[in-house]
Amino acid sequence: MNILFLTHSFPYPIDEGIKLMAYNLIKELSARHKVSLLSLIESEAENKHALELKRYCQKVETVHHVLPRSPKQRLFNTLFQKEPFNILQFYSLDFAVKLKQMLNEEKYDLVHFNFMNTTFYRNDIPEDMPCVFCSYDAMSMHFFRNISAEKSAMKKFYLRNQWKKLERYEIAMLPRFNRTVVVSPVDRDWFLDLFKGIQKKPDISIVPIGVDPDYFKPVFMEDDYPSVIFRGIMGFLPNIDAALYFQKEIFPAISREIPETKYYIVGKNPTEEVRAASNSRKVVVTGYVDDIRPYIAKATVNVCPMRVGTGMKYKIIESMALGTPTVATAFSCAGIPELKHGENIMIADTPEEFARSVVMLLKDKNLRLKLSENGRKMVSANYTWKKVAEKFENIYQEIVN
């Protein structure tokens, strides 16, 4: 099969979750199919990473596009434009021209759209061209849930405006794809509810995110005992909410019980509010790190106290693959049906329950080993990139045939 991938950001280096699926899917599929990539880039310097993708792709094309980000541009979109800002933000006429050129020069069996930001280019492709849209999350749900976490009245207004635009956009656009793929039942159910009473509905499949078992494997290094870690992009509202919620409402109870415990907040783009949480003795905010694995592997416990957001929480899967036991809210676990409290994870929703679960793990090495072993088994049985690629291949075959 000859597949054309469209991405709104170059899939390498893998420094954020949205690049993860694209890179690993291209890597796996290239062993059995011809794959080409067309990607937006914000800087010509990103082209130096093209060599990595050329290992797997027959053709790698990039289009330079500086994203509009100013408050004035967002205000103009809020007041005068029909489509959501984060859709128009990634639309480039040069990209559309290059896309049409590639389709004219070569016969592709299918076009794979990676994430919502690429979907406006569906307008530049013939309607009879087989197209798969990998949505990951339900973006309208993401904006809707962020409204409750946002403190600024102005930002709440903006999020509410974009949420409604996204819902209208999704209703119009999703049925134009042969298949929409999401990573969890939660996102599928959101879309199904959105399309209630609407005649033309999308065809939706669930394919979870995977993990590379050779890259994320247990590393035997000195444990930074007692310590807990929360990781993610720290300019992302759901992660900011979770990191500060843990620091303010959960960590003090843990510190009272085990005073020497350290809390690591690891991830790029920490906001001023997140940086302000840093305390050299107990709370450490690292900012960007080149390799997340040593930080997870050294931590005694991984925490995932998410309260808002969408999709499958990859931070749980990665930590399990590395053998670090996890305490998470039920909300965080919603996209991973194999998770079982007390068997491969600890699930806690109130600050008191969450603190008790972390303390229990910090004090009980046998429980940590049990969760670690069972978590690794669960990941290797269900969440490898090989299994993910096979599911996408089945979807592609259904559509093309």
> Tokens in use for 144?
């809707």
Distance, in Å, from the CA atom of 340 to the CA atom of 97, rounded to the nearest integer, reads: 49
CATH code for the domain defined by 2-210+384-400: 3.40.50.2000
Report pLDDT for 118. Answer: 98
Distance, in Å, from the CA atom of 25 to the CA atom of 392, rounded to the nearest integer, reads: 9
Task: List strands edge to edge, sheet with 262-266.
Answer: 283-287, 262-266, 227-231, 301-304, 326-328, 346-347
Which amino acid would we find at residue 296? I
Cα-trace Rg, the chain: 21
Residue 354 exposed, middle or buried by CB count within 10 Å (0-12, 13-18, 19+): buried
> Tokens in use for 285?
């905010």
Question: Do the beta carbons of residue 253 and residue 355 sit within 8 Å?
Answer: yes
> What sign does the CA torsion over 84, 89, 94, 95 have?
negative
3-state helix, strand, coil in the chain (%, to 5): 50, 15, 35
Question: Do the beta carbons of residue 171 and residue 196 sit within 8 Å?
Answer: no
Which amino acid would we find at residue 112? H
> Tokens in use for 116?
């919502």
Phi, psi torsion values for 257, nearest 5 degrees: -80, -45
pTM: 0.88
Residue 306 neighbours by CB distance under 10 Å: 26
Per-residue confidence in pLDDT tens, the chain, 401 aa:
999 999 999 999 988 878 999 999 999 999 999 999 999 999 999 999 999 999 999 999 999 999 999 999 999 999 999 999 999 999 999 999 999 999 999 999 999 999 999 999 999 999 999 999 999 999 999 999 999 888 899 999 999 999 999 999 999 999 999 999 999 999 999 999 999 999 999 999 999 999 998 889 887 778 889 999 999 999 999 999 999 999 999 999 999 999 999 999 999 999 999 999 998 789 999 999 999 999 999 999 999 999 988 777 889 999 999 999 999 999 999 889 999 999 999 999 999 999 999 999 999 999 999 999 999 999 999 999 999 999 999 999 999 98
Report pLDDT for 386. Answer: 94
Closest CA to 384 of 217, 267, 219, 220: 217
Residue 79 exposed, middle or buried by CB count within 10 Å (0-12, 13-18, 19+): exposed
- Whether 2-210+384-400 shares its CATH topology with 227-382 is answered yes
Distance, in Å, from the CA atom of 56 to the CA atom of 35, rounded to the nearest integer, reads: 7
Report pLDDT for 46. Answer: 93
What does the DSSP assignment read for 35-93? EEEEEEESSGGGGGGHHHHHTT-SEEEEEE-PPP--HHHHHHHHHH-SS-HHHHTT--H
Report pLDDT for 353. Answer: 98
Distance, in Å, from the CA atom of 217 to the CA atom of 310, rounded to the nearest integer, reads: 26
> Tokens in use for 6?
């469209």
Question: Do the beta carbons of residue 320 and residue 344 sit within 8 Å?
Answer: yes
Closest CA to 180 of 258, 128, 113: 113
Closest CA to 4 of 346, 396, 314, 398: 396
Distance, in Å, from the CA atom of 358 to the CA atom of 263, rounded to the nearest integer, reads: 12
Give whole-number Cα distances, 222 to 285, 295, 360, 362, in Å: 20, 11, 21, 15
Question: Do the beta carbons of residue 333 and residue 225 sit within 8 Å?
Answer: no
Q: Tell me: domain 227-382, CATH 3.40.50.2000, correct?
A: yes
Give whole-number Cα distances, 290 to 286, 294, 342, 398, in Å: 11, 10, 32, 39
Structure letter (DSSP) for residue 345: B
User: What are the structural domain ranges in the chain?
Assistant: 2-210+384-400, 227-382
DSSP bridge partners of 328 = 304, 347
> Tokens in use for 290?
């080149």
Question: Do the beta carbons of residue 34 and residue 58 sit within 8 Å?
Answer: yes
Structure letter (DSSP) for residue 181: E
CA 209 to chain CA centroid, Å, is: 8
> Tokens in use for 400?
């093309």
